Amino acid sequence: MPVLRTEDLSIRFGGLAALSGVNFEVRRDEIRAIIGPNGAGKSTFFNCLTGVLRPTSGRILFNGEDITGLSSDRISQKGIARSYQITNILPNATTLENVRIAAQSRRHGWSMLTHYSAYRDIIAKADAVLGLVSLRDKADELAANLSHGEQRNLEIGIALATEPQLLCLDEPTAGMSSAETHDTMQLVRRIARNLTILIVEHDMQVVMELAHRITVLHYGEVLAEGTPAEIQQNPKVLEVYLKT
Ligand SMILES: Nc1ncnc2c1ncn2[C@@H]1O[C@H](COP(=O)(O)OP(=O)(O)OP(=O)(O)O)[C@@H](O)[C@H]1O
Ligand SMILES: [Mg+2]
């Protein structure tokens, strides 16, 4: 069974069909890239999967369960997390607090804060996540003081702290130096051992190196799907996207 499947997923904004009839499936052990020109519907697709937007029609199945139209909190509880195209951290909290708050929302809700053992459990989880995203030495630094690349990785850490089965990354390397991009690719590979990853990315080198398969969106429709080698040679994809 695929971990995620969409059936005829569509969303309209007034007269604009941002997604039309998207049939999509991803396997549990996959890193899947979603590419396409600006405005193709990539972020909108993530917004539908994560309950930020309600699709106009169609269904979203997660582990076979229909999650279409559930709130983003419910979907997070079920195990889908995402990072945003624009960084979404709490700048005036420390690195550790940012991750701790996310871990807490997943595990116990807010009321459990008073229980010391639960709190210790959450701190241990947050610390493990900081290790995974290589930010342990920045735990007590205010998030605002981290470099851009560190902030983007912190955002991945915040998503991981909710213990997802499926992680949606929206342009995780945007604005990064080539060294930071390289580190983030290593990070994505590392975390992909334990969860399914959907990654929206404009950097084709990153896409071709990371993804097992690629889905190309164009005007809200799936234009092509295949391995990196297949996509690089697909005439339709070259025409609308890779050539430009
Ligand atoms: N909340 C919204 N209300 C109205 N229109 C929207 C909304 N969100 C997205 N759109 C429109 O839907 C289309 C798809 O946008 P989306 O952000 O999904 O594109 P994208 O593929 O992520 O592009 P980019 O590569 O630039 O991030 C665009 O035409 C956009 O203007
Ligand atoms: Mg986008």
Domain at 221, CATH number: 3.40.50.300
The first and second tokens of residue 66, run together, are 């229909």
Q: How confident is the model at residue 109 (pLDDT cuts 50, 70, 90)?
A: low
With a 6 Å cutoff on the Cβ, whether 34 touches ligand 1 is no
Q: Quick one: which atom of ligand 1 is closest to the CA of 217? A: 21
Mean pLDDT lowest among 10-19, 26-35, 104-113, 115-124: 104-113
- Boundaries of domain holding 6: 1-79+164-244
Q: What is the mean pLDDT of the chain?
A: 92
User: What is the per-residue pLDDT for 88?
Assistant: 77
Q: What is the mean pLDDT of residues 61-86?
A: 91
Residues 132 and 206 occupy one common structural domain: no
Question: pLDDT at residue 244 above 60?
Answer: no
**Predicted pLDDT of residue 83:** 87
208: CA distance to ligand 1 center in Å? 24
pLDDT-derived band at 112, boundaries 50, 70, 90: low
Report the alpha-carbon distance of residue 162 to residue 132 in Å, rounded.
14
86 or 22: which leads in pLDDT: 22
CA–CA dist 69, 72 (Å, integer): 9
Q: Is the CB of 52 under 6 A from ligand 1?
A: no
User: Which of 16, 20, 44 for mutating ligand 1's site (highest number of atoms within 8 Å of CB)?
Assistant: 44
Q: 199 pairs with which residues across the strands?
A: 33, 169
Average pLDDT over residues 147-174: 93
Kindly state whether residue 206 falls inside one of the protein's structural domains.
yes
Ligand 1 neighbour 42 (Cβ under 6 A): yes
Residue 29 counted as domain residue = yes
**Ligand 1, pocket-test mutation among 42, 52, 203, most atoms within 8 A of CB:** 42
- Mean pLDDT for 45-51 is 97
- Indicate the residue type of 7: E
Looking at the fold, whether 154 and 181 belong to one and the same domain comes out as: no
In a domain, 198, yes or no: yes
* DSSP-assigned states of every residue in 27-85: -TT-EEEEE-STTSSHHHHHHHHTTSS--SEEEEEETTEE-TT--HHHHHHHTEEEE-S
Please tell me which of 69-73, 137-141, 234-238 the model is most confident about, judged by mean pLDDT: 137-141
- CA-closest residue to ligand 1 atom 24: 38
Atom 19 in ligand 1: residue holding the nearest Cα = 39
pLDDT of 236 > 70? The answer is yes
**Together in a domain, 241 and 203:** yes
Residues 180 and 232 in one domain: yes
Q: Which of 163, 180, 215 is the last residue of a domain?
A: 163
- Rounded CA-CA distance 94/81 in Å is 21
Query: Residue 19: which H helix or E strand, with range?
Result: strand 16-26
Is pLDDT of 87 > 90?
Answer: no
pLDDT of residue 159: 94
Per-residue CA distances from 235 to 144, 232, 243 (Å): 44, 8, 10
Residue 53 CA: which ligand 1 atom is closest? 1
84, part of any domain: no
* Same domain? 228 vs 108: no
Report the separation in Å between the CA atom of 220 and the middle of ligand 2, taken as the mean of its atom positions: 12
Ligand 1 near 13 CB (within 6 A): yes
Domain assignment present for 57: yes
Q: The tokens of 17 are what? A: 């069909």
Examine the domain organization and report whether 140 and 216 are in the same domain. no
- Both 116 and 22 in one domain: the answer is no
The whole-number pLDDT of residue 201 equals: 94
Confidence of residue 190 (pLDDT cuts 50, 70, 90): very high
Of the residues 163, 188, 218, the one at which a domain ends: 163
Q: State the CB neighbour count (10 A cutoff) for residue 233.
A: 11
Residue 213 confidence (pLDDT) above 80: yes
Q: How far is the CA of 135 from the centre of ligand 2 (A)?
A: 26
Shared domain for 74 and 168, answered yes or no, is yes
In a shared domain, residues 146 and 94: yes
**pLDDT, tens digit, for every residue of 135-160?**
999 999 999 999 999 999 999 999 99
Claim to verify: residue 114 and residue 178 sit in the same structural domain: no
Q: Give the count of domains, the chain.
A: 2
Domain boundary among 106, 135, 163: 163
Q: Are residues 145 and 172 in the same domain?
A: no
- Which tokens is 93 given? 């909290």
CA distance 38 to 64: 31
Q: Tell me whether residue 170 is in a domain.
A: yes
Q: Helix, strand, or coil here: 161?
A: helix
Q: Identify whether 235 is part of a domain.
A: yes
Note whether 72 and 2 are same-domain residues. Answer: yes
Whether residue 161 contacts residue 125, with contact meaning beta carbons closer than 8 Å, is answered with: yes
Cα 216 from Cα 40, distance rounded (Å): 9
Q: Is the CB of 215 under 6 A from ligand 1?
A: no
Q: Domain for residue 236, yes or no?
A: yes
